[in-house]
Amino acid sequence: MLVFNPHQANYPEPLNSFQKEVFDFCQQWNSGKNEFLFQTSGSTGKPKPIHLARKSMIESAMMTQSWLHLKEGDHALLCLPIQYIAGAIILVRALVLKLNIVLIEPSQNPLEGIKKPIEIHLASFVTTQWSTIMESKFNLYSIFSDVKGILIGGSELTSSLELLTQDIQLPIFQTYGMTETASHIAYRLISAKTNFYQCLPEVKIKINANGCLSINSPTTLNKWIDTNDMAELMTPNQFRIMGRSDFIINSGGRKINPAIIEKCSQQFLIEHSLGFKLFACGLPDDFYGQKLVLLIETSNDFHLKLELMDYLKLNLDNWEVPKQLLFLPHFLYTDSGKIDRPNTLTLYVNNLKLS
């Protein structure tokens, strides 16, 4: 754990590669660099490089300040890799808003790295980190009693994790954003128990011809960008995510949204006090084109296979019921905490060939 002011002229001697990357970024920013290179999360394929303008990141920092009422001297926790926008934007907020950084090397439970009393006012985690933190029973109030925002991004919380989080009396938000928007442009307060996102001021949204969300924001330099997230507008500045267009399964001539199957399956797990990760996808098939299957992450024997299938048959249309339940002891994940669906599916197929 290292607490430092990114505005200082001289930085401490870095103790590891993460600290060196952080100090290098700060020096580049303070030197006036106007464009920075980041990688997308790679949850739907190979990560791609994206250049972001300094102005976009400044706008993002200012929008977060207005939303959470951050002030000079507040402490921001940085425990995410900075080659991705989720980590780098924390540094930018500190540099632009004159915050102090509490630096902890990224890990599944970064709070274990807090070795002395400190009050944190802003923290960002990916979903897998938050899941591990919740499992650890860490006393959140010991460091977050004055927090202005605990931001969780990268992927949606599972239904069971959402239920656990709802009971915590802290400002914990699921955020929505991407590399192209220089971090979040919308949020939802988890304790409010709503499933729609509220846009930050000055953010405009619409549904494009493909049924996906389009965004215009100061962070996009007021240009419209298209996403691959299918969405529904609740109001002109509120929306609900319905799933990814690039995850759609074409099985027997039917286009199936895996998010529907996943939500129903997670509800079954909640009712049986189970917290497994899962996702629906299509396996190549001579008859269906893509055979709808449900992958479940568990190393134990799943003794409720028949009950789950009966539940899905009762609550889904016939064509939405998976043809098969598949099991893997461990899924693959991106650095941002999302399930790496393509590579996890490849892992299953390769394991099948070896068995």
Token digits of residue 226: 């298209």
Fold of the domain built from segment(s) 248-354:
GMP Synthetase; Chain A, domain 3 (3.30.300)
- Give 43's pLDDT tier (boundaries 50, 70, 90): low
Tens of pLDDT along 62-110?
999 999 999 999 999 999 999 999 999 999 999 999 999 999 999 999 9
Does the pLDDT value for residue 240 go beyond 90?
A: yes
Fold of the domain built from segment(s) 2-245:
Rossmann fold (3.40.50)
- The two domains 2-245 and 248-354 share their CATH topology (first three levels equal): no
Q: Residues 6 or more apart from 292 whose CB is under 8 A from it?
A: 249, 251, 256, 261, 280, 281, 282, 319, 320, 321, 322, 323
* Distance separating alpha carbons of residues 215 and 235, to the nearest angstrom: 14
- pLDDT at residue 65 in the model: 98
Token digits of residue 345: 């599916």
> In this predicted model, which residue has the larger pLDDT, 44 or 284?
284
**What distance lies between CA 103 and its chain's CA centroid?**
20
Tens of pLDDT along 128-142?
899 999 999 899 999
Ordered by start, the domain boundaries in the chain are 2-245, 248-354
- Give 336's pLDDT tier (boundaries 50, 70, 90): confident
Lowest mean pLDDT of 20-24, 45-49, 257-261, name the range: 45-49
- pLDDT at residue 354 in the model: 47
